[in-house]
Amino acid sequence: MKILSADFLLVCNDEFEILENAAICFDKKIIDVGSREEIVERYKDVKELYLGKNSLLMPSLVNTHVHLEFSSNRTYLKYGDFLRWLGSVIKYREIISKECKEECYKNALNQMLKSGVGIFGEISSRGESLSYCVNAPQKVLFFNEILGSQPEVVDILYNDFLNRLKESKKYASDKFIPSISVHSPYSTHPILIKKSLEIARSENMIVSTHFMESRAEREWLDRGEGDFKRFFREFFPHIPVIKPLNSAKEFLKSFIGVRTLFTHALFATREEFEMMKDLGGSVIHCPISNRLLNNAVLDLKLLEEMKLSYSVGTDGLSSNYSLNMWNELRAALFLHFDRDLISLSKSLILASTKEGAKALGFNSGVLEKGRSADIIAVKLPGECEVQEIAYHLILHTREVEKIFIDGEEECPIS
């Protein structure tokens, strides 16, 4: 059993409760949270560690969407327009994959760990990140991705996906959960969607998908026109008539009975958000990736008005310059410039703790009795009034002082 105490403790419950001079007692799970005096008195035999002036405790962060298999990318890929980016991904995919070796994965995992990420959702397209995720210090929801549009290769692609899923299942544990990701409505054949979601439904998996990330996707799915039409024509010159594989509505309907995370949703309509909510789904917000690839910002105001939950993801280094969650939160703070600073900061912190853990299905993200002891300690750079903490925390935090996962202190992997 351990006791940590700090000047502030962010519970990260819906009320955004902040305790002053607080302490937390935990082993693998959180045993008690309260005032420093109370906790020290109640657990006399347990050694207390006070974290010092301006210290703060909160749940570890959750990065709900990352593609570690792209972690070697720095300047290969082209930003500014989604199709330009996609073209560069196709061109450099093999080089990026080849350059992403042990050191590269280690750095990516360490960057997340140092920024306080205790849980993440990995989208694996080729199974190459599997061993690194199995051995990561963090808890992982491992999404085996399925995609492919050409009917003649559907069986080959499905078998490859099944093999990857089967391989990942060998390592299933409390901290490594294998699952499924359906790439997107524009790239995945309806047969692949149907078959993979049948597995997800019968095994009660949480599934991830990309949805309405670009304006081009909207135009293509609604009218079969636009940049995607030109892109597909170039990519599949042998096919005389190219049509969208799915309508947005049909695509969403295929997720009935599956807990689904809809990533990006930049160009989703209100009706589509309502469908996501009815499905029991939530949205993943990747603000930096959205700025770099699509010049767009998620309509958080609408999500909050509709009470549709969102979490935060860095996306991969294929569309970001870092996997540091605080960089992501800072970007969000500035991108949503028309929102009230204090309430937006609180909303972003809850999205990357409580909502993130809920999205990935881990009993974590709130500092309360019975939850997993996934905790970070942060140092504020100076004295701070309670009501100003949320935005100062986002503005000033680069790395955390300590991170505990299931009650054990974790250090970067060497």
Helix H or strand E encompassing 408: strand 408-409
Closest CA to 129 of 87, 167, 91: 167
**Active-site pick, 69, 145, 213, 217:** 213
Token pair listed for 380 = 């504020």
Token pair listed for 276 = 């996501």
Spell out the residues 6+ positions from residue 21 whose beta carbon is closer than 8 angstroms to its own. 5, 7, 35, 36, 37
How far is the C-alpha of 260 from the C-alpha of 279, rounded, in Å? 8
213 among known catalytic residues: yes
Angle of helix 325-335 relative to helix 287-294, nearest 10 degrees, comes to 60
Q: Can you count the helices (H) and strands (E) in the chain? A: 16, 16
Q: What angle do CA 288, 74, 94 make, to 5 degrees?
A: 110
Distance of CA 385 to the CA centre of its chain: 30
Tell the residue number behind the tokens 């409390």, with chain if given: 174
The residues annotated as belonging to the active site are 213
